[in-house]
């Protein structure tokens, strides 16, 4: 993620915020390790879809 967004501070900050905000409810609710991992992966996939749609020319700023 960091390599793909190299130099794009706004994207890097967005990705880190999405990941952190995804973790908050899981930690607060004491999710088990597996469920918390799924939550974190979902946050990462959110950003991968964003990058993929932009690559395909479907990104609208």
pLDDT of residue 5: 60
Domain of 44, in residue numbers: 9-55
User: How many domains does the structure of the chain reveal?
Assistant: 1
Please check whether residue 61 lies inside any domain of the structure: no
Please check whether residue 1 lies inside any domain of the structure: no
Please check whether residue 38 lies inside any domain of the structure: yes
pLDDT of residue 16: 86
Please check whether residue 60 lies inside any domain of the structure: no
Residue 54 CA to its chain's centroid (Å):
15
User: Who contacts 22 (Cβ-Cβ below 8 Å, separation ≥6)?
Assistant: 39, 40, 42, 43
Please check whether residue 36 lies inside any domain of the structure: yes
Please check whether residue 33 lies inside any domain of the structure: yes
Please check whether residue 30 lies inside any domain of the structure: yes
Provide the residue-wise pLDDT of the chain in tens; the chain has 61 residues.
556 666 778 877 888 898 999 999 999 999 999 999 999 998 888 777 666 556 566 555 4
């Amino acid at each position: 993620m960091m390599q793909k967004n190299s130099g794009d501070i706004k994207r890097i900050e967005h990705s880190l915020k999405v990941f952190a905000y995804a973790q908050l409810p899981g930690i607060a609710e004491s999710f088990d390790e597996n469920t918390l991992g799924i939550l974190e992966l979902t946050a990462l996939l959110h950003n991968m879809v964003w990058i993929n749609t932009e690559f395909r020319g479907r990104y609208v700023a």
